[in-house]
Amino acid sequence: MAEANWDLFRLFFAVARSGSVNRAAHELGMSQPTLSRRLRELERHIGAPLFYRASSGVSLTQEGEKLRRSAGTMMVAFESLQHRLRSQVGQRASVVRISATEGLTKHWLLPRVKRLRELNSRVQLEIVSTLHQQNVATSDLDFVIRMGDPGEDELVGKKVANVSFGIFGSAEYLAKHPEPRTLAELNDHHIIGQTAEFPGFKNDGARQMKMFRSIFAAPEARSVIRVAPMANHFAAAAEGIGLAFLAVPFALAEGLVRVLPQESAKVNVWLLHRRESDLRKLSREVGRFLESEFSKSKVWFAGQT
């Protein structure tokens, strides 16, 4: 004979506790005929009656009482396990974990946290601010906001913005050094260089490629400092060390001054997630909020105040 479904024992204990098939069916959210049929299925498996049925309810037979005593401890342990699991799952389901670059976190994401909390006070955010691509599988992230290459194949999502990049310096630096009028004049300036080229730039044509060649060649001619990660380029420029190639909206928010405004480049911004995160209701709500906010921010990302 095949083993009885564990759910049959759960139904048995519900009836044993309530003393009534009707009351147990109501508590379980099922019909009385369905519950009676499932109980008969368990009795056939046991090979003995488990209840005496009467108009006032049910009482346990000798076999039913033995089943209640022998399996009762296991049932209590199972219910305790279910309670702990619901509690743990509930705690994780209220947390939404997001990875974003330092610039995106500081200038775009954090200013929107208050609004998100006003819309849904249940959400708890964990934000990982890093330039490096986070491993979604090991980090248990719900969302990755990534600039440039969308990266891992297990992620799904969409391009939500284009960030404009340009050349910036501090007012202090530009007061002491003539502002460049052409890309070629960058070679006459102190340049805040990077230890590796910027990934993921959108190739829009010859003009943008010319800018790339100039901005990446300039540090070779006269670089005063090379800094990683890129978030520190903003601080270096603010200190008046030299000119830096920066995201336009972030640099403007830092109070830096743009030079050669006719020269710019673009980087795609991706909002990515794992398919599994859609199973969490709160994650779906946060995802819709982020998409809406990105849509409203297109002008800002383009560097137009």
The torsion region of residue 267 among left (phi > 0), alpha (psi -120 to 50) and beta comes to beta
Q: Is the pTM of this model over 0.75?
A: no
- Which phi and psi angles does 39 have, rounded to 5°? -65, -40
| 3-class SS of residue 245 | strand
What mean pLDDT do residues 131-147 have? 70
What mean pLDDT do residues 194-206 have? 54
The answer to whether the bond into 150 is cis (omega within 30° of 0) is no
Q: 131 and 230 in contact (C-beta within 8 Å)?
A: yes
pLDDT at 201: 55
| 3-class SS of residue 206 | helix
Q: 60 and 48 in contact (C-beta within 8 Å)?
A: no
Q: What tens digit of pLDDT does each residue of 94-103 get? A: 788 899 988 9
Domains of the chain, CATH where assigned = 6-91 (1.10.10.10), 95-161+268-298 (3.40.190.10), 162-266 (3.40.190.290)
Provide the b/e sequence for 194-210 (b: ≥16 CB within 10 Å): beeebeebeeeeeebee
Q: What tens digit of pLDDT does each residue of 42-78 get? A: 999 888 999 988 877 888 999 988 888 877 677 667 6
In order of 8, 155, 273, 290, 300, the CA distances from 1 in angstroms are 15, 46, 46, 55, 69
